[in-house]
Chains A and B, each alone.
Chain A
Amino acid sequence: MTDTLASPSPLEHSHAGVVPHQVQGVLTFILADIVVFGMIFVDFLVQRYDQLAVFNESSVTLNNWTGIINTLILLTSGLFVALAVQAAKRGEARQARSWILASFVIGLGFGITKMFEYSDKLSQGITMYTNDFYMFYYTMTGAHFLHFLGGMIALAALWFRLADKKIDNKEMINIESVALYWHMVDLLWIFIFPLLYLMGV
């Protein structure tokens, strides 16, 4: 297959100060999203200040290994998406598609681990009404999980879109947009994991 239309990423184009509107839109969305998460993190610490014992006792009930495995899964999935962007820049559509598939498949691991974790907690009768720590636990990880699902759908859609397609500037912007969103899922987890899983130890 001849898929050799090399195209720099939209952000590489942007050294002259011009970022495509779609990428600007995605960056604005990401910024708004991470600001909201940032405020939830701060609220978590404010509540923790008042209820340190409850937060620490609840935090130790979470399985650290689940959190570590999920972090490694998202970091690796993020690497694969970054490699997909590099392949797309070289015009290698099939390779980009393979990296996107790899990212999706390893990303599934996060969903499966999370399902086991939620079902374990719910089977013990632990819900978001148990105490304030678990309210934050379900709110943060639940909102993050919805973002994760959105990212998985976007990755799958991109994989189908790239079938037998050459990578032109428009497609490069789509790839970059999905990649940016997926990295947001990754970076939010980098803060959520220590806040919830590590700090009570």
Chain B
Amino acid sequence: MSSAISSRFLVFVWALLVVATLGTNLLVYFHALTSQSLAAVVMLVAAIKIRAVFRHYMELKYAPPSWQLIFDAWLLVVTLCLVVGFWITPV
């Protein structure tokens, strides 16, 4: 099997991760949303970034489905806990 992920694609993923990082920081800096919505957005963006690391950097997309499922389940549970945790905390 040939090299399935091109170096150029990895750089593209890195650029998206950087843009997402700077973008969420700008949202926070300018208080663009209410604090609870902001927390939800920031955590969801973080979760998307982690899934990109799972799939493209760690190459879990080539792992057997059981491994992919376990890692995705961890991400889903932790993200839900974080979003709900921030959402229900009184401001």
C-alpha gap A183/B25 in the complex (Å): 22
Query: Could you tell me which A residues sit within 8 Å of B by CB distance?
Result: 6, 8-9, 11-15, 17, 19, 27, 31, 34-35, 38, 41-42, 45-46, 48-49, 52, 64, 68, 71-72, 75-76, 78-79, 81-83, 85-86, 89-90, 179-180, 183, 186-187, 190-191, 193-195, 198-199, 201
CB contacts under 8 Å to A, within B35-91, are: 39, 42-43, 46, 49-50, 53-54, 56-60, 62-64, 67, 70-71, 74, 77-78, 81-82, 85-86, 88-91
Determine whether the beta carbon of A41 is less than 8 Å from that of B82: yes
Q: Which 9 A-B pairs have the closest CB atoms?
A: A45-B85, A79-B14, A11-B62, A38-B78, A11-B59, A82-B57, A89-B3, A187-B50, A187-B53
Residue of B nearest to A42 (CB): B81
From DSSP, what is the main secondary structure of chain B's interface residues? helix
User: How many residues of chain B get a CB closer than 8 Å to chain A's CBs?
Assistant: 50
**Which of B21, B22, B57, B85 has a CB less than 8 Å from the CB of A183?**
B57
